[in-house]
Amino acid sequence: MEATRDRHLKLLTETIEAVNSTLDLEEVLSQVATNVAHALEADACFVYLYDERADELILRATHGTSVEEMTRRPRMRPGEGITGSAAAARAPVMLESQAHLDPRFKNFPNLPEDEYQSILAVPILIRDGTLEGALNVRTREPRAFREDEVELLLAIAAQVAQSIEHAKLYAEAQRRVHELEALARINEAVSNSLYLEESLEAIVKTTMDALGAAGAALVLEDGRIAWPEGVASTHAIRQPLRWRGREIGELVADRGTPFTDAEAELLASIATHAAVALEHGRAVMRGVLAQEIHHRVKNNLQTVASLLRLQARSSETIDPREALEHSVNRILAIAAVHELLTERRDEDVELADLVDRLRAMLVQGVGGGKDVSSELQPVSLPGVRATALALIFSELLQNALEHGGDRIRVELSRDGEEVVLAIIDNGSGITEDAAAGTGLSIVRALVRDELRGTLDLSSDAEAGARAAVIFPI
Note whether 187 and 270 are same-domain residues. Answer: yes
pLDDT tens-digit map of 96-152:
999 888 889 888 876 777 788 999 999 999 878 889 899 999 999 999 988 888 888
Residue 286 located in a structural domain: no
Q: How far is CA 228 from the centre of its chain?
A: 4
pLDDT for 178 equals 66
Q: Taken in order 361, 365, 366, 370, is the CA torsion positive or negative?
A: positive
What are the backbone angles phi and psi of residue 45, rounded to the nearest 5°? -145, 130
Q: Which of 82, 79, 90 is nearest to 56 (CA)?
A: 79
Q: Which of 218, 336, 194, 324 is nearest to 271 (CA)?
A: 218
- In whole angstroms, what is the distance from residue 152 CA to residue 9 CA? 9
Residue 221 located in a structural domain: yes
Note whether 220 and 133 are same-domain residues. Answer: no
Residue 297 located in a structural domain: no
- The domain spanning residue 100 has which CATH number? 3.30.450.40
- In whole angstroms, what is the distance from residue 84 CA to residue 197 CA? 53
Note whether 344 and 458 are same-domain residues. Answer: yes
Q: Which of 104, 138, 171 marks a domain boundary?
A: 171
CA distances, 269 to each of 73, 179, 236, 262 (Å): 34, 9, 17, 11
Note whether 160 and 195 are same-domain residues. Answer: no
Residue 300 located in a structural domain: no
Residue 295 located in a structural domain: no
- In whole angstroms, what is the distance from residue 148 CA to residue 135 CA? 17
pLDDT for 261 equals 80
The total number of structural domains in the chain stands at 3
Residue 258 located in a structural domain: yes
Check: CB of residue 82 under 8 Å from CB of residue 119.
yes
Note whether 363 and 457 are same-domain residues. Answer: yes
- The domain spanning residue 384 has which CATH number? 3.30.565.10
Check: CB of residue 18 under 8 Å from CB of residue 31.
yes
Mean pLDDT taken over the chain: 76
Note whether 146 and 262 are same-domain residues. Answer: no
Note whether 412 and 384 are same-domain residues. Answer: yes
Note whether 196 and 147 are same-domain residues. Answer: no
Note whether 240 and 144 are same-domain residues. Answer: no
SS3 (DSSP) at 347: coil
Check: CB of residue 140 under 8 Å from CB of residue 57.
no
Q: Which of 171, 190, 224 marks a domain boundary?
A: 171
Q: How far apart are the first and last CA of the chain?
A: 99
Q: Which of 335, 435, 440 is nearest to 386 (CA)?
A: 335
Residue 429 Rama label (left phi>0; alpha psi -120 to 50; beta) = left
Which residue range forms the structural domain that includes residue 113? Answer: 2-171
Note whether 21 and 68 are same-domain residues. Answer: yes
Note whether 43 and 119 are same-domain residues. Answer: yes
Note whether 209 and 145 are same-domain residues. Answer: no
Q: What is the pLDDT along the chain (473 residues), one digit of tens a residue?
A: 555 555 556 665 665 565 555 556 777 788 888 888 887 888 999 999 898 888 999 888 888 876 555 556 788 899 999 999 999 999 999 999 998 888 898 888 767 777 889 999 999 998 788 898 999 999 999 999 888 888 888 888 888 787 778 777 777 667 666 666 766 766 665 555 555 667 777 778 878 887 888 888 888 777 777 667 777 778 888 888 888 778 888 888 888 888 888 788 888 888 887 777 777 666 655 554 445 444 445 555 555 555 556 555 555 555 666 556 666 666 665 565 555 555 554 567 788 887 887 787 777 765 567 788 888 888 887 766 777 777 788 778 877 877 777 888 888 888 888 988 888 888 776 666 555 556 677 778 778 877 888 888 887 766 678 888 898 87
Residue 293 located in a structural domain: no
pLDDT for 6 equals 57
pLDDT for 288 equals 46
Q: Which of 278, 306, 335 marks a domain boundary?
A: 278
Inter-axis angle of helices 351-366 and 320-344, to 10 degrees?
150
Residue 309 located in a structural domain: no
pTM here? 0.44
